[in-house]
Amino acid sequence: MTMERRQNYPYWFLLPAFAVFALLYLTPTLTGLYYSFTDWNINKKTIDFVGLENFRSLFSDRKMVAALWHTLIYAFAVTVIRNSVGLGMALVLNVKMRFRNLFRTVFFLPYMISPLIIGYLFTAIYHPANGLLNMGLKGAGLGVFAVDWLNDPRFALFSAIMVDVWRTSGFAMVIYLAGLQMIPGELYESASLDGARFTQTFRHIMFPLIAPSLTINLVLSLIGTMKVFVMILVLTNGGPGYTTEVINTYIMTEFSLGLYGLGTAANLVLTALIVLLGFPVLILLRKREVAL
């Protein structure tokens, strides 16, 4: 059998994929690890090792510290709201109704569109004077809530968060819905024979059984949102002031200033953040899946 395997499934089949991946993903990732500890910048011919100097500057830069917090707030808020909305809509669509597939198609749609386009779309919607949001609020007699969503430091980050929720909740919904539809119908039947209310059925049958959907949604969401860049760039460009600055917009600024070592170090901080948050969440949720 081992003989047959070797002949049928040669390892060199891995080579084309590995070659491209090694060249353009692994190499920059690994050299980036080194550059993070150097003074690489546009004004110097040589690249010299400087130890932790970049990290010292990063953590003493108020803008970077703000970017770090905003990235965490953004990731946490988008993850919580996206998953609440996504799960809610999945429960609604789990009920047999007319046009169910059409609704699913519509809810998922924004996920297909470039975040850049969606950013411009919402620049118009959030427009303080003419945007649909404020026109709607004024029309409903809620004019006091019609603020300048993207230019008011109190609301800018929240406004960006809601655009991402709008864009990606359909994706979360589709994964929850697939999880719900894998639950055997008999379980619902026996629950309703026992006189279980919806909340009880949800707590004791649905929620435990969609554990894999919950895991994948939370992990993908945390990882993806911490990498946010385009949405912020287009909606606020980090402003007003630096109230919506995130790590990837910070990296862009450092890059344009020619501070390459520092920018690369900021990316390493982002990587550390993703790994330190992503893996414990993954392990925790996986353990929970097994326990259930």
Partner 1 sequence: MKRSNFYRIPLFLVCVAVSLIVLVPFAMILVNSFKDARQSALFKLSLPDEFLWSNYKLVLSKPAVIRSFLNTIYIAVFSVLLTDLCAAMAAFVIQRRPTRLGKAAYYTFLMGLVIPISIIPTIRLMMNTGLHNTYRGMILYYTAINLPFAIFLLTGFIGSVPKELDESAMLDGCKPLRLFFRIILPLLSTVMVTSTIVVAIAVWDDFVGPFYLISDYRKWTIVLNIYTFVSQYETNWGVVFAFLMLVMTPILLLYFALQRYIISGLTAGALKG
**CA-closest candidate to residue 67, choices 282, 229, 272, 283:** 229
CB of 153 to partner 1, least distance (A): 22
Nearer to partner 1 among residue 154 and residue 187 (C-beta): 187
> Concatenated DSSP letters for 219-241?
HHHHHHHHT--HHHHHHTTT-ST
Shortest Å distance, C-beta 152 to partner 1:
19
CB of 56 to partner 1, least distance (A): 19
Closest to partner 1 by CB, 77 vs 93, is 93
Which of residues 154 and 184 has its CB atom nearest to partner 1 in the complex? 184
Q: Which of residues 83 and 213 has its CB atom nearest to partner 1 in the complex?
A: 213
Q: Which of 188, 178, 170, 184 is nearest to 212 (CA)?
A: 178
Question: If you count them, how many residues does the chain have?
Answer: 292
> C-beta of 94: minimal distance to partner 1 in Å?
10
CA atoms within 13 A on the CB side of 208: 9
Helix 62-93 and helix 53-60, axial crossing angle in degrees, nearest 10: 70
Q: Measured between alpha carbons, how far apart are the two ends of the chain, in Å?
A: 38
Q: Which is nearer to partner 1, 212 or 239 (CB)?
A: 212
Minimal distance in Å, beta carbon 88 to partner 1?
A: 9
225 versus 244: smaller Cβ distance to partner 1: 225
- Nearest in space to 39 (alpha carbons), one of 29, 30, 49, 27: 49
C-alpha 226 chain-centroid distance = 6
Phi, psi of 193 (to 5 degrees): -65, -35
Least Å distance, CB 144 to partner 1, is 21
Whether a cis peptide bond, with omega within 30° of 0, leads into 240 is yes
